[in-house]
Amino acid sequence: MDRQVTKEEVPSYELVEEKIKEIDGSIIILRIFYIFMQIVYKFQVIKNDKLCTVEIPRKLLEGLRNRNILLEEELNEILNTSLQQSECWNKV
């Protein structure tokens, strides 16, 4: 089972939260899991009554600590691709 983590344990959490709010201010980060086998953080976000899961590699989040522009663009692409796809959102 994936281990649920707190926002304090996630590298660059504040930047991820900021980027999500830029896409849609009504999206809330519900839970975060760390998937050890894939070395990714799985963000479960909720909007109204729908849930979406976005996986972000740990290396990307660690690299964002230095505000790397290329990595920020990669993060934006991951979030935009996931959060703007209707098939990502499932009714809760």
Other C-beta atoms closer than 10 Å to the C-beta of 75 total 22
In this structure, which amino acid lies at residue 62?
E
Q: What is the pLDDT of residue 1?
A: 61
Domain boundaries, the chain: 3-87
Tens of pLDDT, residues 23-60: 999 999 999 999 988 899 999 999 999 999 999 999 99
One-letter amino acid of 50:
K
> CA nearest 71: which of 80, 62, 82, 83?
62
pLDDT at 18 over 70: yes
**Mean pLDDT within 6-24:** 95
Bridge partners (DSSP) of residue 42 are 33, 55
Q: How far is CA 4 from the centre of its chain?
A: 14
Question: What's the confidence (pLDDT) of residue 65?
Answer: 87
pLDDT tier, 19 (very low <50, low <70, confident <90, very high otherwise): very high
